[in-house]
Amino acid sequence: MARTGRRPGNQDTRESILAAARTAFAEHGYDRASIRMIAASAGVDPALVHHYFGNKDQLFVATVQVPIDPAEVIPRVVGGDRGQVGERLVRTFLGVWDSPVGITAAAVMRSALTNEQMARLLREFVIHRVLRRAMTTLQVDPAEAPLRASLVASQIAGLAMARYLVKVEPLASVPPDVVIAAIGPTIQRYLTGPIA
């Protein structure tokens, strides 16, 4: 027969799971939230959560609506010369934000700044999914890793705000290489240099 277009039943289930996941990740944090807990809250079988979203990591990425998969991006940034990781991180970040998905990234960031639940989700995402893994790969001293991660987050978030949200000139319109030359060394020091 005719095409049915979107399937309302499945779409509703998917949305219920996402809503339950958002609440669980925001309330309990990434580590303590579980697929079982989220499924119970959405009134579905855990197998259905796996069916729609894959594992907990993938569900989390879907929940936060971040338009990239860190599992693909991080190895490119932290692999290679350790002394150039700051530069590669800034280059990768600009690549995402200057691309069409940059609009989604800006929306996620705006909502995190005005919505406490989204703020918690984004914090969890940045810390657990992105920076903690990068730190491990870079063999950063575990005692210093959390502070280093939050310093990186501060400069990257500020760059996003100045270049893409509030559009502070000339930072908003200079070529990527200018940004990389200026901010790459900051990220490099926060990751591997002296900070005390």
Are 160 and 171 contacting, i.e. CB atoms less than 8 angstroms apart?
no
Query: Does 97 interact with a copy of itself (rule: CB under 8 A)?
Result: no
Nearest CB to a copy of itself, comparing residues 68 and 153: 153
Q: CA-based diameter of the chain, in Å?
A: 69
Q: State which of positions 136-165 bind a copy of itself (CB under 8 A).
A: 146-147, 150-151, 153-159, 161-163, 165
Are 112 and 119 contacting, i.e. CB atoms less than 8 angstroms apart?
yes
Give CA–CA dist 98/141, Å, rounded. Answer: 33
Nearest CB to a copy of itself, comparing residues 78 and 122: 122
Q: State which of positions 64-83 bind a copy of itself (CB under 8 A).
A: none
Angle, CA of 108, 110 and 116, to the nearest 5°: 85
Give CA–CA dist 36/12, Å, rounded. Answer: 19
Query: Does 126 interact with a copy of itself (rule: CB under 8 A)?
Result: yes
Segment contacting a copy of itself by CB under 8 A, of 9-17, 52-60, 70-78, 177-185 = 177-185
Task: Quote the least distance from Cβ 144 to a copy of itself, whole Å.
Answer: 10
Query: Does 96 interact with a copy of itself (rule: CB under 8 A)?
Result: no
Work out the burial of residue 148: count CB atoms within 10 Å of its CB; fewer than 13 is exposed, 13-18 middle, 19 or more buried.
buried
Are 157 and 183 contacting, i.e. CB atoms less than 8 angstroms apart?
no
Binding region for a copy of itself (CB under 8 A): 110, 112-114, 119, 122-123, 126-127, 146-147, 150-151, 153-159, 161-163, 165-172, 174, 178, 181-183, 185-186, 189-190, 195-196
